């Protein structure tokens, strides 16, 4: 189902970077074929974007105490641990990297997880489709760093996207960002300090072993092994 949607709506799956690192194994291909329809919200979002839905926005699951989104979950280490710990919270994991999406889909099926849905679209379309003030928390754990200066414009966390996130977060909610890129951290800090973005409380820190949000994902772990600092930015809407 994913591949049929991608062929029909390529624009909405596109982003800067690779999408498939290696060929999908037969077992992951089967998982997509048999289970993606059930666990993905891609069709709902595409219907909203193309005005084919009676709803103007994607309505989050009201049967759970909280609604949390993780953007760019990679192979899903952080997302899956959150999903299993917080049974009263509903999660949406958004990832354009097909192998990561398949790995997490397999775990959802194997572990019979009922509090998670997946989105394989570029996250801009997901976030745009959300109701205002509807999300409790958004995780963006080590977004693609795009370290070369000429690639800075590809970074996900620019002024427009951070403003959009503010609109979608509930009062009392927050955005959690970690990165091992000092230039990305500085760029985010500048946007928050210089632009008129209204997050009422901002926590910025270098985190270390034992701190919350440290050592929580494959990509972050690689940074730690290489001796890189891990920066945390927490944007709170009060
Ligand atoms: C550097 S990796 C980090 C992965 C994971 N969070 C971790 O820490 O291991 C960034 C991830 O974001 C995903 N990504 C980048 N741009 C995206 C977008 N616009 N929408 C959804 N996912 C995106 C990439 O496919 C990649 O898997």
pLDDT in tens, 195-230: 778 899 999 999 999 999 999 999 999 999 999 999
Q: How far apart are CA 219 and CA 209, in angstroms?
A: 16
Nearest CA to ligand 1 atom 24: 72
**pLDDT for res 187:** 96
**pLDDT for res 9:** 84
Q: Is the pLDDT at 84 greater than 70, yes or no? A: yes
Per-residue confidence band for 21, with pLDDT thresholds at 50, 70 and 90: low
Nearest CA to ligand 1 atom 15: 72
Q: Is the pLDDT at 148 greater than 70, yes or no? A: yes
The predicted model gives 103-110 an average pLDDT of 97
- The first and second tokens of residue 69, run together, are 């989104």
Nearest CA to ligand 1 atom 7: 219
Catalytic residues: 144
Q: Are strands 230-236 and 169-179 parallel, antiparallel or unpaired?
A: antiparallel
Pick the CATH number of 2-236 from 3.40.50.150, 3.40.50.720, 3.30.1490.110, 3.40.50.1360: 3.40.50.150
pTM to 2 decimal places: 0.96
> How far lies 66's CA from each of 30, 51, 71, 115, 209, in Å?
31, 27, 17, 10, 28
Q: How far apart are CA 163 and CA 38, in angstroms?
A: 32
The predicted model gives 45-68 an average pLDDT of 96
- The first and second tokens of residue 20, run together, are 């498939």
- The first and second tokens of residue 50, run together, are 């193309």
Residue 99 beta carbon below 6 angstroms from any ligand 1 atom: no
Q: How far is the CA of 27 from the centre of ligand 1 (A)?
A: 23
**pLDDT for res 188:** 96
> How far lies 62's CA from each of 58, 68, 136, 141, in Å?
12, 12, 12, 25
**pLDDT for res 22:** 63
**Domain map (residue ranges) of the chain:** 2-236
Which atom of ligand 1 is closest in space to residue 16's alpha carbon?
A: 16
CB atoms near residue 220 (< 10 Å): 23
Of 74, 63, 58, 176, residue with least CA distance to 126? 58
Ligand 1, pocket-test mutation among 144, 155, 181, 225, most atoms within 8 A of CB? 144
Residue 219 beta carbon below 6 angstroms from any ligand 1 atom: yes
Nearest CA to ligand 1 atom 13: 72
Per-residue confidence band for 194, with pLDDT thresholds at 50, 70 and 90: confident
**pLDDT for res 10:** 84
- The first and second tokens of residue 58, run together, are 């994607």
Which atom of ligand 1 is closest in space to residue 94's alpha carbon?
A: 21
Q: Is the pLDDT at 176 greater than 60, yes or no? A: yes
């Amino acid at each position: 189902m994913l591949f049929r949607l991608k062929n029909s709506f390529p624009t909405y799956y596109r982003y800067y970077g690779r999408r498939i690192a290696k060929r999908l194994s037969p077992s992951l291909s089967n998982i997509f074929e048999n289970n993606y329809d059930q666990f993905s919200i891609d069709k709902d979002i595409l219907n909203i974007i193309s005005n084919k839905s009676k709803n103007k926005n994607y309505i989050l699951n009201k049967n759970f105490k909280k609604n949390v989104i993780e953007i760019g979950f990679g192979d899903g280490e952080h997302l899956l641990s959150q999903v299993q710990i917080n049974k009263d919270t509903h999660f949406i994991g958004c990832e354009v990297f097909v192998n990561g999406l398949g790995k997490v889909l397999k775990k959802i099926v194997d572990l019979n997880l009922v509090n998670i849905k997946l989105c394989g679209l570029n996250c801009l379309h997901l976030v745009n489709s959300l109701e205002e003030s509807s999300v409790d928390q958004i995780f963006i754990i080590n977004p693609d760093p795009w370290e070369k200066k000429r690639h800075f414009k590809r970074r996900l966390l620019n002024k427009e996207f951070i403003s959009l996130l503010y609109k979608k977060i509930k009062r009392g909610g927050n955005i959690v960002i970690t990165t091992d890129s000092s230039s990305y951290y500085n760029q985010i800090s500048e946007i928050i300090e210089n632009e008129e973005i209204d997050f009422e409380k901002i926590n910025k820190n270098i985190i270390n072993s034992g701190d919350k949000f440290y050592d929580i994902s494959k990509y972050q772990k690689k940074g730690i092994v290489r001796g890189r600092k891990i920066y945390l930015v927490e944007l709170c809407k009060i």
